[in-house]
Chain A
C-alpha cells in the first residue's frame, strides 16, 4: 500500500512539474496564439539555470554560484526570460509556422550548446545538482518526496491563479484580441508586437520555472532531458487538455503523462513474457492512439476554452 502511495507521490510530482510548463505554453498558444516550437529550450534554460546558480563550483566547471535555493530558482526563471527576450525580439514578428520553425531551431541550438559547452554545462555527461533543499532535514525519502510534491503543488496553484487572473483581466482580453485578429487590435491603438513579446517572455519564464523544479527534483541535468520530444510532450498535453483553458492544461498534462508512462506499466503487467521486448514499441503506438482518439472525439480538448468577455459580464457560450 505504501508502495502505491509512494509511486503516486512521485508520479504526481512529475505531473505537476510538467503542468507548469504546459500552463506557460497555454499563455503563449492558448491565449495569444504564439506557436512556440522550442519549449525544451526555455525549460532547459530553467533547468540548467537552477543548477548553475544553486550548485557549487565543481572541478573543471567555470560557473556555480552556490546561491540559496530561492535565489537559484529566481535566477533560473530570469535566465529563461532573458533567453525568451532575445529570441522574442528576433522572432515574434514571425507568425504561426514561421515562429514555430524559428523557435524549434532555437531549441536545437540550446540543446547543442548544452551538449558542447562543457566548461559551463558539463557537456553530454551532464551536470550534477546540489543537495535538494530540506532533504537532510527530513531525512526520509518518502516524506521528502511528499514534501516536494506539496511544494510543487503550491507553486502550480500560484502560477495557475496568476494566469487565471491574467485571462480575465483587460490584458487577457487584449491577448485574445491579438490572437483572433491582430489588425483589429492594432486599429484600436494596441501594439501587437509588444504584447506578443510580453506574453512570449512571461510564458517562457513559467516554462523555466518548471525546468528549475524538474532539475531540483532529479538533482541532475543532461542534454538528454531537453531533446525535442519534450516539446512534443508539452504540446500534446496542452492540445489534449484543451488550449485556452488553464484547468484543461493541468488536466491534459496528468492524462497524457499517465497514458505515457501508465501504458508501459499496464503492458508489463498483462503482456506475455515473449512480448516484453516489444512493449516499448507498443507503448509508443498506445501513446499515439490516446492522443489521436482524444482529438477525434474532443477536437477542442477535454476541457475546451471558455470564452469570457469580462468578469462582470455573463459567460458566452462557445459556438
Chain B
C-alpha cells in the first residue's frame, strides 16, 4: 500500500511538473518590512502578498518563483531596521518593500538599504525628507515610493475645493508627517486661490475625544471643512463635528476612502462630501486593480495604501525581470524600463505580466499602469499621477471627475505665479 501511494505520488508529480511554469527548486527572495501587527497595516501586507501570488501565477521572475519574506515593523523604527538588516544579511534579498511610516522607512534607507546597495520601494512614506535626501545624492538612486507626493494630492484637493465654490473652510489634519505636509500644502494652495483657511486643526492619534478640537474649528463658523485624517480618527472627529452642527460640506483625503468611514459616520451625513485621490488611467482594456482585489479578497479595497503597495511590489518584480543581474543598484536602474512613458502600456493582470516579461526579456520597455495609475518616477524616486474626485454610495465608492497629470501640473505651475 505504501509503495502504491508512493508510486502514485511520484507519477503525479512527474505528470504535473511540466504544468508548472517555474522549476520548483528555483526561488527569488524579496523582503518586505510592513506593520503587519497594526490594524491598518495588515491589509497592506495582504495586498503585497496578493501581488506576489499573481506574479507567481504568471511565471515568476526570470522563471523563478518569488518568495516574499514578510517582517513586522511594529511601527517601531529600531524593530523595522533590524528586520530589514536581517532580510538583507541573512536572507540576501536584493529588494526591500517598505516600510509604511516615513519614520521607519528613513532609518532603513540610511542605515541598511543605501550601505548594502539594496533597492527600497515604499507604498506609503510621504515625508519630504526623502526628496531632500535624494537631491543630495544620498539615496544613490535606490529609493522609490509609489505614494503620489503630497504636492500632487494637495493640488487635486485645492482644485476640487475651488471648483465647489467654497469661500472659506477649516482644515483637520492628522498630526504626523503626511498630515502636516498635506495640511500645509492645501492651505497654501487655497490661499493662493483666494479661499480663506479659517483654522488648521491638528488631530493626534488615539484620543478618546476630539471635542476640544472640533469646538475650536466650529468657532470660526466655516463654510466647509477639509479632512486629511485616517479612518479611526476621521470617524471620531467627524462624528463630533456633525453632531455639534458642523457643516456637511466636506472634502476629504484619499485616506478616508474606506467603507468603515462611510458606515461609522453614516452615509446620510456624507451626501455633500467629496474626496480626492490619485487615479488609474482610463484605458478600456485594463482590468482594474479593484477587480483583481475583489477577486482575491471578495471585498472592496478600502483603507489607505492598498493600490500603492500593489504597484510597489509589481514595479519591483518587473524591474527585477528587466534587470540583467539581481543586485540592488542594477534593479533600481531598471525601474525606468518598467515605467517608460514611451513603452508598451501594461496592466499587471496575469496576461499583462506574461506580456511584460516577454517584452522586457527582448530588451523592450513597458509603461506600467497599475493601481495608482501610470506611474512615473522623477530622478528622486517620487511619483506623480493623475487625480480624481469620488464620493460614497450605498454600494461602495463612486468616482466622479478625472483630472489628468497635465492638468495637475499646469495647476501647480499656475499657483507659483
Interface residues of A (CB under 8 A from B): 3-4, 6-7, 10-11, 14, 58, 112, 115-116, 118, 122-126, 128-129, 141, 144-145, 214, 217-220, 222-225, 227, 229, 260-261, 264-265, 268, 276-281, 283-284
Q: Does B96 contact A (CB under 8 A)?
A: no
Chain A binder among B128-136, B155-163, B238-246, B298-306 = B128-136
**What 5 pairs between A and B have smallest CB-CB spacing?**
A280-B72, A224-B103, A280-B37, A141-B115, A280-B36
Q: Contacts of B116 on A, CB cut-off 8 Å?
A: 141
Q: Does B274 contact A (CB under 8 A)?
A: no
How far does the alpha carbon of A280 sit from the alpha carbon of B107 in the complex, in Å? 20
Contact of A225 with B70 in the complex, beta carbons under 8 Å:
no
Given contacts A6-B89, A261-B82, A277-B70, 20 further A-B contacts (CB under 8 A): A4-B90, A7-B90, A14-B82, A115-B176, A116-B202, A124-B103, A124-B178, A128-B133, A144-B115, A214-B78, A218-B106, A219-B111, A220-B110, A222-B106, A224-B76, A224-B103, A261-B83, A278-B36, A279-B71, A283-B37
How far does the alpha carbon of A217 sit from the alpha carbon of B101 in the complex, in Å? 19
How far does the alpha carbon of A132 sit from the alpha carbon of B46 in the complex, in Å? 37
Query: Which residue of A3, A129, A261, A277 contacts B42 across the interface (Cβ within 8 Å)?
Result: A277
Q: Contacts of A126 on B, CB cut-off 8 Å?
A: 102-103, 106, 127, 129, 177
Q: Kindly provide the distance from the CB of B151 to the nearest chain A CB, expressed in whole angstroms.
A: 14
> Given A223-B103, A225-B77, A261-B79, do A125 and B128 touch, yes or no (CB 8 Å)?
yes
* Contacts A/B (CB < 8 Å), 18 sampled: A11-B85, A123-B177, A125-B102, A125-B180, A126-B103, A218-B81, A218-B106, A222-B177, A225-B78, A229-B76, A264-B83, A277-B36, A279-B36, A279-B71, A280-B37, A280-B74, A281-B37, A284-B74
Which B43-64 residues have a C-beta within 8 angstroms of A? 45-46, 49
1/0 per residue, CB under 8 A from A, across B88-129: the answer is 011010000000011110110011000110000000000111
Determine the residue in chain A with the shortest Cβ distance to B107: A218
Q: Kindly provide the distance from the CB of B179 to the nearest chain A CB, expressed in whole angstroms.
A: 7
Determine the residue in chain B with the shortest Cβ distance to A271: B70
Q: Kindly provide the distance from the CB of B201 to the nearest chain A CB, expressed in whole angstroms.
A: 13
Q: Does B412 contact A (CB under 8 A)?
A: no
Contact of A280 with B35 in the complex, beta carbons under 8 Å:
yes
Q: Contacts of B37 on A, CB cut-off 8 Å?
A: 280-281, 283-284
Contact of A10 with B104 in the complex, beta carbons under 8 Å:
no
Q: Kindly provide the distance from the CB of A245 to the nearest chain B CB, expressed in whole angstroms.
A: 24
Q: Contacts of A129 on B, CB cut-off 8 Å?
A: 110
Q: Contacts of B81 on A, CB cut-off 8 Å?
A: 14, 218
Contact of B111 with A125 in the complex, beta carbons under 8 Å:
no
Contact of A125 with B115 in the complex, beta carbons under 8 Å:
no
> Given A277-B49, A280-B72, do A222 and B103 touch, yes or no (CB 8 Å)?
yes
How far does the alpha carbon of A15 sit from the alpha carbon of B197 in the complex, in Å? 48
Determine the residue in chain B with the shortest Cβ distance to A227: B76
Q: Contacts of B103 on A, CB cut-off 8 Å?
A: 124, 126, 222-225
Determine the residue in chain B with the shortest Cβ distance to A112: B204
Q: Kindly provide the distance from the CB of A281 to the nearest chain B CB, expressed in whole angstroms.
A: 5
How far does the alpha carbon of A72 sit from the alpha carbon of B128 in the complex, in Å? 25
Which B178-209 residues have a C-beta within 8 angstroms of A? 178-181, 202, 204
How far does the alpha carbon of A260 sit from the alpha carbon of B81 in the complex, in Å? 13
Q: Contacts of A265 on B, CB cut-off 8 Å?
A: 71, 83, 86, 90
Q: Contacts of B179 on A, CB cut-off 8 Å?
A: 124
How far does the alpha carbon of A280 sit from the alpha carbon of B86 in the complex, in Å? 15
Q: Contacts of B110 on A, CB cut-off 8 Å?
A: 129, 218-220
Q: Does B75 contact A (CB under 8 A)?
A: yes
Q: Kindly provide the distance from the CB of A257 to the nearest chain B CB, expressed in whole angstroms.
A: 9
Q: Contacts of B111 on A, CB cut-off 8 Å?
A: 217-219
Q: Contacts of A128 on B, CB cut-off 8 Å?
A: 129, 132-133
Contact of B46 with A277 in the complex, beta carbons under 8 Å:
yes
How far does the alpha carbon of A281 sit from the alpha carbon of B70 in the complex, in Å? 13
1/0 per residue, CB under 8 A from A, across B303-337: the answer is 00000000000000000000000000000000000
How far does the alpha carbon of A214 sit from the alpha carbon of B79 in the complex, in Å? 13
A interface, by DSSP: helix, strand, loop or mixed? helix
How many A-B pairs fall under 8 Å by CB? 134
Q: Contacts of B35 on A, CB cut-off 8 Å?
A: 280
> Given A4-B90, A224-B75, A279-B70, do A125 and B127 touch, yes or no (CB 8 Å)?
yes
Q: Does B175 contact A (CB under 8 A)?
A: yes
How far does the alpha carbon of A128 sit from the alpha carbon of B103 in the complex, in Å? 11
How far does the alpha carbon of A284 sit from the alpha carbon of B179 in the complex, in Å? 28
Determine the residue in chain B with the shortest Cβ distance to A123: B180
Q: Contacts of A124 on B, CB cut-off 8 Å?
A: 103, 175-180
How far does the alpha carbon of A191 sit from the alpha carbon of B81 in the complex, in Å? 45
Q: Does B69 contact A (CB under 8 A)?
A: yes
How far does the alpha carbon of A174 sit from the alpha carbon of B129 in the complex, in Å? 48
Contact of A283 with B72 in the complex, beta carbons under 8 Å:
yes
> Given A112-B204, A118-B180, A277-B46, do A11 and B82 touch, yes or no (CB 8 Å)?
yes
Q: Kindly provide the distance from the CB of A40 to the nearest chain B CB, expressed in whole angstroms.
A: 12
Q: Kindly provide the distance from the CB of A137 to the nearest chain B CB, expressed in whole angstroms.
A: 15
How far does the alpha carbon of A222 sit from the alpha carbon of B204 in the complex, in Å? 16
How far does the alpha carbon of A153 sit from the alpha carbon of B105 in the complex, in Å? 27
How far does the alpha carbon of A225 sit from the alpha carbon of B115 in the complex, in Å? 21
Q: Kindly provide the distance from the CB of B299 to the nearest chain A CB, expressed in whole angstroms.
A: 16
1/0 per residue, CB under 8 A from A, across B258-269: the answer is 000000000000
How far does the alpha carbon of A145 sit from the alpha carbon of B82 in the complex, in Å? 14
Q: Contacts of B181 on A, CB cut-off 8 Å?
A: 125
Q: Contacts of B86 on A, CB cut-off 8 Å?
A: 7, 261, 265
Contact of A125 with B72 in the complex, beta carbons under 8 Å:
no
How far does the alpha carbon of A130 sit from the alpha carbon of B180 in the complex, in Å? 24
Query: Which residue of A58, A141, A220 contacts B107 across the interface (Cβ within 8 Å)?
Result: A220
Q: Contacts of A116 on B, CB cut-off 8 Å?
A: 175, 202
Determine the residue in chain B with the shortest Cβ distance to A59: B132
Q: Contacts of B107 on A, CB cut-off 8 Å?
A: 218-220
Q: Contacts of A220 on B, CB cut-off 8 Å?
A: 106-107, 110, 129
Query: Which residue of A11, A218, A283 contacts B77 across the interface (Cβ within 8 Å)?
Result: A218
Contact of B89 with A4 in the complex, beta carbons under 8 Å:
yes
Q: Kindly provide the distance from the CB of A60 to the nearest chain B CB, expressed in whole angstroms.
A: 10
Q: Kindly provide the distance from the CB of A227 to the nearest chain B CB, expressed in whole angstroms.
A: 8
Name, among A7, A118, A145, A276, the residue most crowded by chain B CB atoms within 10 Å (CB to CB).
Answer: A276
Determine the residue in chain A with the shortest Cβ distance to B116: A141
Q: Contacts of B42 on A, CB cut-off 8 Å?
A: 277, 280
Query: Which residue of B46, B75, B90, B177 contacts A125 across the interface (Cβ within 8 Å)?
Result: B177
How far does the alpha carbon of A1 sit from the alpha carbon of B104 in the complex, in Å? 27
Contact of B92 with A3 in the complex, beta carbons under 8 Å:
yes
